[in-house]
């Protein structure tokens, strides 16, 4: 059997749960997806988790429940700064799609949508160029640069080796 182009090209999907995920559920889902293998890039999106009360009579007071929320995916720990509402994934190829769907069905206790499409940048953006210059060694970080960030604290590259 000859592999056609769609079997070998990366595929990008969006997981859109019907509810915002708690940090525990988000970690469980991401770890199950990562265990399935084939994940090239992951991005989580949602409304930001403020560390302090932004307005009103308590303005400036810390919000204790949003302190030190960490997501541990693979061998990396990342500070969670958003309530997870969407998960973008890039998979090595189409064959990993069923494993991702099964992982979501096992871990999400409510309905979700799985959409396929182009989500991540495939070419260097202006922000990428400003941060890294002409030569980006790791193509997995394309389009994941926050132009306003002073440091790259929100970006982690998971190791290629899995248990």
pLDDT number for residue 132: 67
Residue 32 burial (CB count, 10 A): 18
Nearest to 12, CA basis, from 32, 40, 31: 40
Establish if 32 belongs to a structural domain: yes
- Give the integer Cα–Cα distance in Å for 69 and 100: 24
The β-bridge partners of 115 are: 14
Evaluate whether 99 touches 11 at the Cβ level (below 8 Å): no
Closest Cα partner for 90 from 163, 127, 143? Answer: 143
Per-residue pLDDT in tens (0 to 9) along the chain, 163 residues: 445 555 678 899 999 999 999 888 999 999 999 998 888 888 888 888 888 888 899 898 988 876 778 888 877 888 888 889 999 998 998 999 999 999 999 999 899 999 998 887 667 776 666 666 677 666 666 666 666 665 555 555 555 544 3
Tell me, yes or no, whether 140 lies in a domain.
Answer: no
Is 161 domain-assigned?
no
Nearest in space to 70 (alpha carbons), one of 9, 27, 101: 27
Closest CA to 132 of 119, 121, 145: 145
Q: What pLDDT score does 162 carry?
A: 41
Count how many domains the chain has.
Answer: 1
Give the per-residue pLDDT at 9. 84
By C-alpha distance, which of 57, 62, 26, 28 is closest to 44? 26
pLDDT of residue 1: 46
d(CA 64, CA 82): 15
Backbone angles phi, psi at 62, to 5 degrees: -70, 145
Q: Which domain covers residue 116, as residue numbers?
A: 9-120
Q: Whose structure tokens read 């990428």? A: 128
- 157 domain residue, yes or no: no
* pLDDT at residue 6 in the model: 53
The reported pLDDT for the residue numbered 137 is 67
The answer as to whether 57 is a domain residue is yes
Q: Is residue 162 part of a domain?
A: no
Please, are residues 142 and 161 in contact by the beta-carbon 8 Å criterion? no
Can you give the CATH number for the domain in which 26 is found?
Answer: 3.30.70.260
Give me the pLDDT at residue 13, please. 94
pLDDT at residue 76, rounded to an integer? 80
The overall pTM is greater than 0.85: no
Q: Is residue 87 part of a domain?
A: yes
| Assigned domain for 133 exists | no
User: If 0-12 CB within 10 Å is exposed, 13-18 middle and 19+ buried, where does residue 55 land?
Assistant: exposed
């Amino acid at each position: 059997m000859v592999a056609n182009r769609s079997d070998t090209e990366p595929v990008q999907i969006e997981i859109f749960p019907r509810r915002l995920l708690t940090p525990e559920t988000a970690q469980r889902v991401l770890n199950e997806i990562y265990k399935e293998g084939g994940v090239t890039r992951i991005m989580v999106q949602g409304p930001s988790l403020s560390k302090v009360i932004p307005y009103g009579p308590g303005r400036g007071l810390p919000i204790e429940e949003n302190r030190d929320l960490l997501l541990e995916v693979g061998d990396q720990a990342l500070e969670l700064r958003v309530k997870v509402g969407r998960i973008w994934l890039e998979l090595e190829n189409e064959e990993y799609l069923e494993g991702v769907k099964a992982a979501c069905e096992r871990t999400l206790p409510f309905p979700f949508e799985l959409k396929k499409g182009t989500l991540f940048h495939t070419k260097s953006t202006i922000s990428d160029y400003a941060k890294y210059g002409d030569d980006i060694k790791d193509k997995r970080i394309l389009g994941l640069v926050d132009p306003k960030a002073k440091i790259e604290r929100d970006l982690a590259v998971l190791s290629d080796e899995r248990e």
